[in-house]
Amino acid sequence: MSRSARLRWSTASELLRLVYAEPGITRTAACERLALASGAATELIERLRGARLLAEHRADRGGPGRPTTVLGPHPRGPLAAVVDLSAAGWRVLLGDLAGALTEAAAGSYGDREPAGFLPEVAGAVGAAVRREPGRVGAVVAAVAGAVSGTRLLQFSTRGWHAADLGVLAGGPGVPLLVGNDATLGGIAEARGGAVRGARAALHILVAVGVGGALLVDGRPVTGARGAGGEYGHLPLGDPDLACPCGARGCWDLMVDGRALARHRGDPVPRDPFAYGRNVLDAVRSGKAPDRDRRAVERTARALGAGIAGLVNLHDPDAVTLAGLAPGLRAGAPEAFADAYRGGLMAFHRADPPPVADAVHGADGPVRGALALGFDEITGPAALARWGAHRTR
Partner DNA sequence: TACTTTTACTCGGAGCACGAGTATATTTCC
Partner DNA sequence: GGAAATATACTCGTGCTCCGAGTAAAAGTA
Q: Give contact residues for DNA (rule: CB under 7 A).
A: 2-4, 7-8, 11-12, 26-28, 31, 35-47, 58, 62-69
Q: How far apart are CA 183 and CA 196, in angstroms?
A: 15
Q: Is 164 exposed, middle or buried (0-12, 13-18, 19+ CB in 10 A)?
A: middle
Comparing CA positions, the residue from 247, 246, 205, 199 lying closest to residue 219 is 199
Distance CA 345, CA 361 (A): 31
Q: Which is nearer to a copy of itself, 100 or 247 (CB)?
A: 247
Nearer to a copy of itself, 136 or 215 (CB): 215
Q: How many CA atoms lie within 13 A of 335 on its CB side?
A: 17
Smallest distance from a copy of itself to CB 338, Å: 12
Q: How many residues bind a copy of itself (CB under 8 A)?
A: 57
Query: What is the nearest approach in angstroms of DNA to the Cβ of residue 64?
Result: 4
What is the Rg, in whole angstroms, of the alpha carbon atoms belonging to the chain? 23
> What, of a copy of itself, DNA, none, does residue 360 touch, CB below 5 to 8 Å by kind?
none
64, 66, 224, 389: which one binds a copy of itself (CB under 8 A): 224
Buried b / exposed e over 170-180, threshold 16 CB at 10 Å, is beeebebbbbb
- Report the DSSP beta bridge partners of residue 27: none
Each as own residue / partner, the long-range contacts of residues 387-392 (CB below 8 Å, 24 or more positions apart, any chain) are 387/9, 387/12, 387/47, 387/51, 387/53, 388/5, 389/134, 390/50, 390/51, 390/52, 391/47, 391/50, 391/51, 392/50
Out of 81, 153, 163, 169, the residue judged to bind a copy of itself by CB under 8 A: 153
CB of 79 to a copy of itself, least distance (A): 28
Residue 227 binding: pick among a copy of itself, DNA, none (C-beta 5-8 Å cut-off by kind): a copy of itself
The DSSP result for 274-301, as a single string, is HHHHHHHHHHHHT-S-HHHHHHHHHHHH
The smaller minimum CB distance to DNA, of residues 1 and 127, is found at 1
166 touches a copy of itself by CB under 8 A: no
* DSSP 8-state secondary structure symbol assigned to residue 249: S
Tell whether residue 313 is a contact of a copy of itself (CB under 8 A): yes
> Cβ closer to DNA: 34 or 241?
34
Residues 6 or more apart whose CB falls under 8 angstroms from that of 119 comprise 167
Q: Of DNA, a copy of itself, none, which one does residue 31 interact with (CB within 5 to 8 Å by kind)?
A: DNA
Q: Can you name the residues that pair with 318 across neighbouring β-strands?
A: 201
Contacts of a copy of itself in 33-52 (CB under 8 A): 34-36, 40
Q: Cβ of residue 72: shortest distance to DNA, in angstroms?
A: 13
Q: Is 144 or 384 the residue whose CB approaches DNA more closely?
A: 384
320 binds, among a copy of itself, DNA, none (CB under 5 to 8 A by kind): none
The answer to whether 318 and 353 are in contact (CB under 8 A) is yes
Q: Which residues bind a copy of itself (CB under 8 A)?
A: 2-3, 7, 10-11, 34-36, 40, 146, 148, 153-154, 162, 198-200, 214, 216, 221-231, 233-236, 245-248, 305-306, 308-310, 312-317, 342-349
